[in-house]
């Protein structure tokens, strides 16, 4: 059997799959994000490790001690771009700065000046979510701490250090640092130097399907596993989800509705297009790349609204489904920029907005506006991908948002593409991580990376697509004239 661990922003999720690829167990443990100042997002790495250990214990309880010991390899998936700073004794120097943190906007402009070839080498704009600007912020605002940094690890790779004692990453996750030569799939000394970093502070790189080490004996004993269990290179969460959904060949694509929203399409070569805030990253599998549009708040917008209104998602979706055509047409519009935005605006100061509220609007209409606003954000992302020469007619839907048939149909109508959900699609990156473990144990890609069974297919409705166009146009108009709030820098 194979274990996949996905370190997300809101939870650590893990799965176990069998030698036939079937999902045998799934468990998770919640995480919290600290926001000590506006536009800051941090987590304590120790909380990740505790959540990982708790989640593994839940899986062991589901499967039983003897059966769980049949796990032969472990794969890792994780939230990208986060900065875990370690001293010479591998002690964590400060809370990890997360992908959703936008404090380093000034450093992005400085990095672009210091590294004129940034776009050509890294294939991406300098954005506050990426790792390099975070380190420049630390150098400027926490110089004494910066001088003690011996190594920098991405979130999943810090978990690997606890598991194996080794500092290793993979090209898909490393591509999100702005320190990688994405076409060459190796660290760039030029980009490292531009942000005040060195190659010796970086982890080694292996493909996500290769072995990166073995479990430390103490960890193996604590987790109830053999001490010869291999740990695969793993992947950033987007690339891991792609492996889990079988998006491994050029032209394959998927849409992920998690904390963030991702449109991911596999390429056979490096195809950067930073002008539209499109990400061009390495895939975790050898000699493949991908393009990706990213919105910073997706299913998290729905969770936020449900907390605000003291309603669970299932109940709110049931209310939304009762709205008639007139109520949908007159619903408010929602800009889903609760944490700023990447594609297509690259605007860390963008704000969430409800527009067009009236006394007649009830909770369901606002809830619909949230679903629609996130869907329109995905339309913007697809348009940016199309402008970069990439088009799709079908997308697999993964992540927590995949649980809602109503939202899946709305996405099909808004994007005007076929949306497909799959059995086990909610497992997302954890399933991909488990598949990478299988590959590291000698599995064949053609067998391991098959597309999961289809659960449902949502064909776009031409009439509904046409009806959404005026609302989409207004949604795009609203973003433009809104100035930053006073005091927001």
Give CA separation, 188 vs 22, 48, 68, 117, 175, in Å: 39, 29, 41, 11, 11
Beta-ladder partners of 30: 11
Q: How far is CA 322 from the centre of its chain?
A: 32
- Concerning whether 237 is annotated as a catalytic residue, the answer is yes
SS3 helix, strand, coil % of the chain, rounded to 5? 40, 20, 40
Distance, in Å, from the CA atom of 154 to the CA atom of 161, rounded to the nearest integer, reads 11
Tell me which residue of 12, 77, 425 sits closest to 236, measured CA to CA: 77
Tell me which residue of 418, 396, 416 sits closest to 469, measured CA to CA: 416
Written as six digits, the tokens of 431 are: 């399933």
| Range 347-351, long-range pairs (CB < 8 A, 24+ positions) | 348/39, 348/102, 348/105, 348/127, 348/128, 349/102, 349/105, 349/484, 349/488, 350/479, 351/482, 351/484, 351/485
Written as six digits, the tokens of 27 are: 């468990």
Distance, in Å, from the CA atom of 449 to the CA atom of 247, rounded to the nearest integer, reads 8
The active-site residue, picked from 6, 157, 170, 237, is 237
Beta-ladder partners of 479: none
Distance, in Å, from the CA atom of 158 to the CA atom of 60, rounded to the nearest integer, reads 23
The H-assigned helical ranges of 147-236 are 155-164, 171-174, 189-194, 217-223
Please indicate if the annotation marks 292 as binding a ligand.
no
What's 79's DSSP letter? -
Helix 155-164 to helix 45-63 angle (10° resolution) is 60
Distance, in Å, from the CA atom of 440 to the CA atom of 463, rounded to the nearest integer, reads 47
Distance, in Å, from the CA atom of 230 to the CA atom of 71, rounded to the nearest integer, reads 9
Distance, in Å, from the CA atom of 211 to the CA atom of 228, rounded to the nearest integer, reads 12
Beta-ladder partners of 85: 152
Please indicate if the annotation marks 80 as binding a ligand.
yes
Active site residues: 237
Known binding-site positions: 80-81
Residue numbers belonging to the annotated binding site for substrate: 80-81
């Amino acid at each position: 059997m194979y274990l996949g661990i996905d370190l997300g922003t809101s939870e650590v999720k893990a799965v176990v799959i069998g030698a036939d690829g079937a999902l045998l167990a799934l468990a998770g443990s919640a995480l919290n994000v600290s926001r000590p100042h506006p536009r800051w997002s941090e987590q304590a790495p120790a909380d990740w490790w505790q959540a990982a250990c708790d989640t593994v214990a839940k899986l062991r309880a589901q499967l039983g001690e003897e059966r769980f010991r049949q796990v032969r390899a472990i794969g890792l998936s994780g939230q990208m771009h986060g900065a875990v700073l370690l001293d010479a004794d591998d002690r964590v120097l400060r809370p990890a700065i997360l992908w959703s943190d936008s404090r380093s906007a000034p450093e992005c402009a400085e990095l672009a000046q210091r590294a004129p070839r940034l776009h050509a080498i890294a294939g991406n704009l300098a954005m506050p979510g990426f790792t390099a600007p975070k380190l420049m912020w630390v150098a400027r605002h926490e110089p004494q701490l910066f001088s003690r940094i011996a190594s920098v690890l991405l979130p999943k790779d810090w978990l690997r250090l606890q598991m194996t004692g080794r500092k290793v990453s993979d090209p898909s996750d490393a591509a999100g640092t702005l320190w990688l030569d994405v076409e060459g799939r190796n660290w760039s000394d030029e980009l490292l130097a531009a942000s005040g970093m060195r190659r010796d502070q970086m982890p080694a790189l292996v493909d996500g399907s290769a072995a990166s080490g073995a479990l430390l004996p103490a960890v193996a004993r604590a987790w109830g596993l053999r001490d010869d269990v291999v740990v695969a290179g793993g992947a950033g969460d987007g690339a891991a989800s792609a492996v889990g959904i079988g998006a491994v060949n050029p032209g394959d694509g998927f849409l992920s509705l998690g904390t963030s929203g991702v449109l991911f399409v596999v390429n056979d070569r490096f195809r950067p297009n930073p002008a539209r805030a499109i990400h061009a990253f390495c895939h975790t599998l050898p000699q493949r790349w991908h393009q990706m549009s990213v919105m910073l708040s997706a299913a998290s917008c729905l969770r936020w609204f449900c907390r605000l209104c003291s309603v669970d998602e299932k109940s709110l979706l049931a209310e939304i489904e009762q709205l008639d055509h007139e109520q949908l047409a007159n619903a408010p519009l929602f800009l889903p920029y609760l944490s700023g935005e990447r594609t297509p605006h690259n605007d860390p100061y963008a704000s969430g907005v409800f527009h067009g509220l009236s006394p007649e609007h009830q909770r369901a209409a606002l809830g619909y506006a949230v679903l629609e606003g996130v869907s329109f954000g995905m339309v913007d992302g697809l348009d940016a991908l199309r402008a970069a020469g990439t088009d799709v007619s079908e997308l697999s839907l993964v992540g927590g948002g995949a649980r809602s048939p109503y939202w899946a149909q709305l996405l099909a109508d808004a994007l005007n593409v076929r949306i497909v959900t799959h059995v086990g699609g909610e497992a997302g990156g954890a399933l991909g991580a488990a598949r990478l473990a299988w590959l590291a144990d000698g599995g064949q890609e053609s067998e391991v990376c098959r597309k999961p069974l289809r659960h449902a297919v949502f064909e776009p409705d031409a009439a509904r697509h046409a009806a959404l166009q005026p609302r989409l146009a207004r949604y795009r108009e609203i973003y433009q004239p809104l100035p930053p709030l006073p005091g927001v820098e």
